[in-house]
Structures are given as C-alpha cells and as structure tokens.
Amino acid sequence: MTFLDPYQAGAAAWDRDAAAVYGPLADELVAAVPVALRGRAVLDLGCGTGAATAALRRAGATVVSLDRSLAMLQHRRPGRPPAVNADAVALPIADGGFDAVVAAFLLNHLPPAEPLLEMARVLRPGGALAASTWPGGVVDPVKARVDSVMREAGWTAPEWYRVMKQEVELVTGDPDRLAALARASGFQEAEATVRTVAMHLDASTAVSYRLAVPHLAEFLAGLDAARRRELVDTASREVAPIVDSWQPSMLVLLARR
C-alpha cells in the first residue's frame, strides 16, 4: 500500500466535508501562484474532487486535472475539466506542456523527490509551481481535539499514516528542506513559507472535515450509527470553544522553472 491508496474511497464525503477546509486553503494557494493564470495551461496535480481546480478556473486558467484515484476524478464528472488518471511520479505528459502546476496537499503524501522532478519536467521554461503541505511541528488545535476523542474511543493511527507523518513530513513539513529539494529538482527561486488561513466554520463542519480523512473515516465506518453520532457530538463539543479563532497553518512552496 502507498500513502495515496486510502484515498481511492470516500470521494463523496471528501467533496462534501473535507472541502470545507481544503477549499479555502486551495483558494489561498492559487492566489499565490507567481504567474498570471488567465488563459494559461495549468495542471492540477493530485486534484482530488476539484477544490484547486475550481479556484484555478475562477482565475481564468485552462485546467487539466490529474489524480491517482479514479473515484476522485469521476465524482461530479460533468462540468469538470479534462482529467488524467495517473501517478504523480510518472506523469503521462510531454516535457514543457504546462505554464503552471498546482499541487494542493499532494507532496505530504509521498516521498517528494520524484514528483518534484516530474513537475519540473512538465513545466515550460519560466513556468511556475505552487504546492502546499502541512508544516511539521505545528499542532493544529481542531485536529488535536478531534483525534483525542477518537483515540479515547479506540482509534489508533494506521501504519501508513504513522510512516507518512514520521518520514515524509521530515522533508515536506520543513520549509528549508522542501525549498532546497525543489531547487535540486530543477526549479529556480524556490521559496517555502508557512501561512495561516481563517476558516469561519462552525464546530460541526470543522469536525466533519476532520472525520472525512481516510485514517479516521475507516475507523468510523466500522462503528454503528448511534456510536458514530455520539462521537461526532462529543468532538463538536470539544471543538466549539476554539473554532471561531481557528486558522489552520499550511506550508506553501512557490518556485519557477
């Protein structure tokens, strides 16, 4: 199993619940792309159900979506742009095919060296990369409270998630290391910074976002409906005192080819 395999299921819940947070984060990432997007060819790499795609289209870009999960690509297929079902480490795309690549929360799911090389390859000279990951060493209060409720209910993090956090995040969560890796992959002017984004969500929506991620969704799916409702209510009570001021942190890598 790779770190991306668990995302093959749950497209509807992802689009309905996780997008409440990933949507605003995608808006912030797309706004940071260091080239004009209108009329440009842009690859949304690791597109999921299309949060960054929507932001790119609002900016006037001509978008091609790519994801390893066919279920994610097929969700709400009518109205979405052309899509490619492929792996980020072996893109079926000609050299220099795009003006920009956007990769929203892809690099934190797999060893980043090969995907960065592929991103550099498919960009035209002067093209731009904008990628986001979760910063290492940052304790998100909403995630922490929801995860604590789930642990008390018997949840333990699956092995693939522990490896991802303990090994991949050493690079993808470190601004200096990630920017250095981008430069070694053929990018110029690579810079990675940590930003915060205000969410303005209620407690129930914030909890639903967190419970849509696969390492928690699988655990919840094994419970009966009454127990799931009980845990959601408990997590919502835990999150309610802090959700108004919640501003998740994300690491943003910007680079030019």
Q: How far apart are CA 44 and CA 147, in angstroms?
A: 30
CB atoms within 10 A of CB 94: 9
Is pLDDT at 5 greater than 80 in this prediction? no
Q: How far apart are CA 184 and CA 204, in angstroms?
A: 43
Domain span at 123: 5-256
Give the pLDDT confidence of 28-56 residue by residue, as tens digits: 999 999 999 999 999 999 999 999 999 99
Q: How far apart are CA 4 and CA 70, in angstroms?
A: 12
Residues near 115 by beta carbon (within 8 Å), at least 6 away in sequence = 45, 88, 89, 103, 106, 107
Whether 5 contacts 174, CB under 8 Å: no
The token pair that represents 11 in the structure block? 């497209």
**Residue 196: HSE in the Cβ half-sphere, 13 Å Cα cutoff:** 9
DSSP code per residue over 236-252: HHHHTTTGGG---EEEE
Count of H helices and E strands in the chain?
12, 7
Give the pLDDT confidence of 170-214 residue by residue, as tens digits: 999 999 999 999 999 999 899 999 999 999 999 999 999 999 999
Longest dimension (CA), the chain: 56
CB atoms within 10 A of CB 230: 14
Q: How far apart are CA 175 and CA 192, in angstroms?
A: 5
pLDDT for the residue 10: 76
Element of type H or E holding 255? strand 249-256
Q: How far apart are CA 25 and CA 67, in angstroms?
A: 18
Q: 115: closest CA among 242, 3, 248?
A: 3
| Total domains present in the chain | 1
Q: Is the pTM of this model over 0.85?
A: yes
Is pLDDT at 3 greater than 60 in this prediction? no
Quick one: 239 exposed, middle or buried, by C-beta within 10 A (0-12, 13-18, 19+)? buried
When pLDDT is cut at 50, 70 and 90, the band that residue 151 belongs to is very high
Is pLDDT at 6 greater than 70 in this prediction? no
Is pLDDT at 1 greater than 50 in this prediction? no
Query: Helix, strand, coil shares of the chain as percentages rounded to 5?
Result: 45, 20, 35
Query: What CATH number is attached to the domain comprising 129?
Result: 3.40.50.150
Give the pLDDT confidence of 63-117 residue by residue, as tens digits: 999 999 999 999 988 989 999 999 999 999 999 999 999 999 999 999 999 999 9
Residues near 168 by beta carbon (within 8 Å), at least 6 away in sequence = 3, 108, 109, 110, 111, 112
| Token pair 């929801």 in the structure block, residue | 146
pLDDT for the residue 46: 97
Whether 42 contacts 101, CB under 8 Å: yes
